[in-house]
Chain A
């Protein structure tokens, strides 16, 4: 196969076939440059966010309002979606419904082909990443050009995004320069010769490269941050102005929007336009906010389409606890604050949705069949830093535990079938039996006390332990277990007094 590609090829393989999180995490931990990049980037954005949020004395009220609006939407989703469809149609937009990724991609490909165009410019969009639209377009002979700076870096770098908001967070500026110099010229306007890694010059090179594509493109593809049911408007929130170019210049605009993005009324934006910029980019006010309500004659795209996608969202909706994850406004605050994400970056999560939100969302919308989806809810220490920052009050830590129970329930169901038995359920069952009765715990403690006594003859700490505890002991010393439990001490020193 030597067919010439139109756009840079992403890494081979399907995301859903990614290795389990612990395996991928180990791979990513080995990348020292990436670790430095991530450490620096997450600290910077955390501090800025803390400052931007700290300025607001009604931040907690805003979060509560954001959470409440979103949970109302999820409770009455069918009604709001019907209202949205009616308003959009009234405004001259065409609404399409897609059950899954394949259907959504088919709709977009057909719409582009109807225009006769063989390329589209793209506004940064998580929904189109999720359905892997770019590759579907490529296979149909349509070139999809990312126009967001970071997405451009990722695309030109034959890479995958590693962050929702800052897809190239794993790259530093000298890596960006190298990618631009090596690849830009192959896909359009080349960078100026002798490009250095000054951010201003890098941005200039991207601007020059993209300008040609903006002016030429007749079709744009976007997502939407919000879809307003009462006015039939879509909203895109971005900081570079590339989105504004895509949303205004081409004749045809196709927006792919998850069904959970609907907001009841235009007034609700008041809450979200405060929550989102401060949580994501730590800005007080978002730089470029584009709002369009269908097509308006003589102004902007005349051929306006909205593709509303489910792609697993109704599965999440069916779980009253799990559905709170659908409140997400993709601000990335949970990624930035996460100490696990900080160490491994987004690629370890095997999804376009990494970090804490990915760990609770992917196993819901993709299911728990794949090895990676089963491992994601466990990719957290449950420290709760994500829950604390989430602007729509998703109880992320609680949902991680909830999703763990779903994975375990699925494993247990398999234990009764043809699958090989998993070891963990048996261990947990034995543990549960011990903890059900203090006399069993006391019997188990005898073993610990004995080992404490024996070990005490040789050393003051445990050096090596059998698997799986070896994973613990490889990096840590563990003191010998004491020879007297608290219970024993109590019995010897206090219990008699209690009898009196």
Chain B
């Protein structure tokens, strides 16, 4: 983009990046792409180092008390920021939906107040770009055939709606093909994939079959955990489709 710094939509906005523990450790390219896109749009990005995890691995396994320390760490890391942005529907959803419940469980009124402030300021990166920056064309170029899986928590907890489709539709060179049975869960479900491994694999196999049927080169989603699930099955089947996070497509520009 060639606009002067002042002319860019994110000018003057400071964004605290919520990398999420799984991206930080296993998929560092995703938060890096988030930094790249947000900076390209003029935002100042900071990474509060105290951050760890949204706690959903504990919460969703039923360990509420064990999730509370993650909530405390989260409000400590992100308190005071107006915009907290993460590249994960699932983790953002856990913060917005579950942190209030966990804070209540802790019985700590101070924590409840902090969560009431911090949790609603946490946005999925697609929400931030479209709603706060008012941008749908981020200047990306990705000359490939892709299909999009709307991950369950992006769809039903964070409710990102058609924002990802809108963002993808503005990417130059990109051909978006419809995924059959798109809204069906891929079978990941965190510890579900271990506790109910057989059902999980049966569901992932359905999703992988639908993805392969599109003939797309890339499978796009807003959550790396689901991509890891579907991608793992696709790779085992030697399918040529490569999983990629939405923000990594948006980070691609011509000549890059």
A contact set with B: CB distance below 8 Å: 21-22, 25-26, 29, 339-340, 343-344, 377-385, 387-388, 397-398, 401, 404-409, 424-425, 428-429, 431-438, 441, 445, 448, 461, 468-469, 471-472, 474-479, 481-482, 484-490, 494, 498
Contacts and interface: CB of A to CB of B under 8 A. Distances in A.
Interface in B155-186: 155-157, 183-185
Nearest to B200: A381
B62 interface: yes
B73 interface: yes
Interface in B24-62: 24-29, 31-32, 35, 45-47, 49-53, 55, 57-62
Interface string B72-92: 110001000000000000000
Residue with the highest number of chain A CB atoms closer than 10 Å, among B19, B25, B185: B25
Nearest to B195: A378
B196 A379 contact: yes
Given A381-B189, A383-B185, A385-B183, A486 B55 contact: no
Contacts, number: 195
A435 B193 contact: no
A436 B195 contact: no
B72 to A, nearest CB: 7
Contacts of B62: 377-378, 401, 404-409
A340 B199 contact: yes
B85 to A, nearest CB: 14
A458 to B, nearest CB: 17
Nearest to A429: B66
Given A21-B196, A431-B66, A441-B21, A476 B47 contact: no
B58 A428 contact: yes
A486 B202 contact: no
6 contacts: A22-B197, A378-B192, A382-B60, A437-B73, A482-B27, A487-B49
Contacts of B70: 432, 435-436
B64 interface: yes
Interface of B: 19, 21, 23-29, 31-32, 35, 45-47, 49-53, 55, 57-70, 72-73, 77, 97-98, 152-153, 155-157, 183-185, 187-205, 228-229, 231-233, 235-236
A381 B203 contact: yes
Contacts of B73: 435-438
A19 to B, nearest CB: 13
A436 B72 contact: yes
B152 A381 contact: yes
Contact of B61 (A340, A408, A468, A476): A408
Contact of A381 (B25, B35, B185): B185
Nearest 7 Cβ contacts at the A-B interface: A476-B232, A381-B189, A404-B62, A408-B62, A383-B185, A436-B69, A471-B197
Contacts of A437: 52, 73
Given A431-B57, A435-B69, A437-B73, A343 B233 contact: no
Main SS class of interface, B:
helix
A475 B187 CA distance: 13
Contacts of A490: 35, 47
Contacts of A489: 28, 32
A398 B35 CA distance: 32
A350 to B, nearest CB: 14
B19 A486 contact: yes
Nearest to A487: B24
B213 to A, nearest CB: 16
A393 to B, nearest CB: 14
A438 B49 contact: yes
Contacts of B55: 435
Given A26-B198, A435-B53, A339 B185 contact: yes
A486 B31 contact: yes
A288 B112 CA distance: 51
A121 to B, nearest CB: 38
A424 B189 contact: no
Given A25-B199, A472-B193, 5 more contacts: A29-B199, A404-B61, A475-B205, A485-B24, A486-B32
B28 A339 contact: no
A54 to B, nearest CB: 14
Contacts of A380: 189, 192
Nearest to A498: B46
Residue with the highest number of chain A CB atoms closer than 10 Å, among B61, B152, B187, B194: B61
A30 to B, nearest CB: 9
Contacts of A445: 24-25
B101 to A, nearest CB: 8
B66 A469 contact: no
Given A378-B192, A485-B28, A475 B201 contact: yes
B141 to A, nearest CB: 23
A481 B199 contact: no
B171 to A, nearest CB: 24
B236 A382 contact: no
A232 to B, nearest CB: 40
